[in-house]
Amino acid sequence: MTARKTESSSPLDKFGLAHHADGGPIRHARNEHAHHWVPIRDLRPRHRRRILDHLLSLNERDRYLRFGFLAPLEQLSRYVASIDFRRDEVFGIFSRRFQLLAVAHLAAMPGVHVRGSAMEFGVSVLPEGRGKGLGLRLFQHAITHARNRGASHLIIHALAENAPMLRIAAKAGATVERHGQDAEGWLKLPKDTVATHLDSSLQSWAAEAIYRVKYWTAHFSDWLRMLVSSAS
């Protein structure tokens, strides 16, 4: 895949999330963003509204691919309200305009012991953020967090037609089995180590710090602009 020229004025440039003037995403060559660190924030109960807004920004087909059925507003609201943030983990990637571009839900599966203790991974990336490795990054992030929680397997349920999701799972080394229209990917996880705990703590801390600095810088600039314009 060849890289096309990035529009340097775009606010999404910094994380390689820029768009062409025609609205299509700029598909970078894989090696161009393979080593590009992306801040992934831990989402909390206070982010429920933003998670719902993110899911509502997906079109019907994407919601179908995400949940396996056409999820209407009420079902999405119930899903978001039911997320147990103590038992599960939810991660998000924000754009420079503080929009929630990608959300991943790492859910404990208490009843599933077929292959040991398992956690399930579900993800969605808004169309403008796709093809830049965010889905894969979130999957890798989930692997580390699932290991730290003592899970022995990470499981993905997707429709067999969901080529990008199955590609992400296969790239991360998951075994993918197809059963008619459905597919299940499962990845055996190594045990957690001091390094995996250190890695997730540092990642979380850095992502939170970067978000807060950007947020306050943006709001302070707005406030300064207002002050200057009201004084003149």
Using CB under 6 A as the criterion, which residues of the chain lie in contact with ligand COA when the complex forms?
A: 30, 62, 65-66, 122-125, 130-136, 158, 162-165, 167-168, 171
Q: How far apart are CB 67 and ligand COA at their closest, in Å?
A: 8
Taking the CA of residue 101 as centre, how many other CA atoms within 13 Å lie in the half-sphere pointing to its CB? 26
Q: Which residue is nearest to ligand COA (CB)?
A: 135
Q: How far is the CB of 156 from ligand COA (least distance, A)?
A: 6
In the bound state with ligand COA, the residue whose beta carbon lies nearer, of 41 and 66, is: 66
- Nearer to ligand COA (CB atom), residue 168 or residue 189: 168
Which one, 92 or 133, has the nearer CB to ligand COA? 133
Whose CA is closest to 16, among 33, 34, 1? 33
Q: How many CA atoms lie within 13 A of 81 on its CB side?
A: 6
Which residues on neighbouring strands pair with residue 125, listed in sequence order? Answer: 102
Q: Which is nearer to ligand COA, 92 or 135 (CB)?
A: 135
CB of 208 to ligand COA, least distance (A): 22
Token pair, residue 82, equals: 């039911």
Shortest spacing between CB 232 and ligand COA, in angstroms: 44
Closest C-alpha among 122, 128, 124, 66 to residue 96: 128
Contact at 8 Å (CB) between 9 and 18? no
Nearer to ligand COA, 109 or 192 (CB): 109
Which residues sit opposite 176 in a β-bridge? 185
Least distance in angstroms from the C-beta of 59 to ligand COA: 9
Contact 146, 118 (CB under 8 A): no
